[in-house]
Amino acid sequence: MIPSARLYDWVRPLLFALDPERAHDIALRQLDLAHRLGLTRRLAPALPDDPVEIMGLRFPNPVGLAAGLDKNAAHLAALASLGFGFIEAGTVTPRPQPGNPRPRMFRLARSQALINRLGFNNRGLDAFVAHVARFGSLHVPAVLGLNIGKNATTPNDEALADYRAGLRAVYPHAGYVTVNISSPNTRDLRALQGVEALAGLLGGLMDERRRLADRHGRQVPIAVKIAPDLADDELRRVADALVALGADAVIATNTTIDREQVAGEPHAAQAGGLSGAPLRERSTAVVGLLHMHLQGRLPIIGVGGILNGADAVAKLRAGASLVQLYTGLVYRGPSLVAECRAAILASRAPRNSAPA
């Protein structure tokens, strides 16, 4: 059997010869095929469970898939077979939308980074929920997170209606729901992170959740995904607001608009959100700041710049309870999932005491 890391080393040059968005679509279709043929088991070596309990949920292990890779929830079974403890699908908007004009995704290979300005391209809630319902019937142990946003044509003062529609549609199928207010690729979306705007939006969603919990007999946790570009004082105010408003977790962080780490590299000046290795330091710093400020009042899911197992361990040591991968999978392939899980397990194993 060819180790999955070596196999991806052979495949990656072929994918990198293509436009990044086309390569992304092809890779997911091939992953689906491999899953149907029972081959993805070879990409996910057997590892012991490493359960984590947060938000009232039990995650089989702390390594998850970040939102954005499977926007339409069309590849969930194949992705879950790679060994993730949880999968976050989306971002989905109430109505289908094409997103921003192409090209809208760029590789910065020297920096192991991506820039994307996709703009919540997705097929809308009806298609999304149909895919999610099929996945739910498989009884896969991975927790399913569903990430909701607003349509680009919806002004911010009407955004609550879009998020309510998203919450109502995904609620029966979600392990947890993520509210995305931090993508840089939908005009003015990040303004919803302001404390006053956040109070109106999240307060309205919590009211909606109470009604849905009564109807469905369970309360689905709500997480909020924030940007890395907030100043430290803003991060503290947002964290306090999330606690006061009843959020169940904070996801730190989304992509960045900062280009300092990639200055001079081809495509560095492209508009959009930067992800990958250049985001690692800032996202981990945000996790650490939130951990120190929150003092256990709200769990943190760490995402941004995880390219190897040590990066995942660093996020947990900074204060995250769970971690998520995305850009690292583009550069490292599916073996990154097992590498991160194994590194986390090793970091938790008791060390032998030195002889007296």
- Among 300, 276, 265, 307, smallest CA distance to 286 is for 300
Q: What is the DSSP letter of 97?
A: B
Q: What's the CA gap between 280 and 306, in Å, rounded?
A: 7
Contact 323, 312 (CB under 8 A): yes
Q: Which of 183, 275, 321, 335 is catalytic?
A: 183
What is the SS3 assignment for 64? strand
- Residue 58: strand pairing partners: 53
The residues that bridge with 322 in the sheet, in sequence order, are 301
Give SS3 for 147: strand
Show the tokens assigned to 178.
């993520």
Q: Which residue in 349, 352, 329, 350 sits closest to 340, CA to CA?
A: 329
Q: Which two tokens stand for residue 184?
A: 């840089």
Task: Say if residues 85 and 322 touch (Cβ distance below 8 Å).
Answer: yes
User: Can you tell me the distance from the alpha carbon of 63 to that of 50, in angstroms, rounded to the nearest whole number?
Assistant: 10
CA distance 352 to 68: 41
H-assigned helices in the chain: 4-16, 20-36, 76-80, 125-136, 159-170, 195-216, 232-245, 280-294, 309-318, 327-332, 335-348
Residue 183: active-site member = yes
The partner residues of 176 in beta bridges, in order of sequence, read 145
Task: Enumerate residues 6+ apart whose C-beta is below 8 A from 255.
Answer: 116, 183, 184, 228, 272, 273, 274, 275, 279, 304
| Active-site annotation, residues | 183
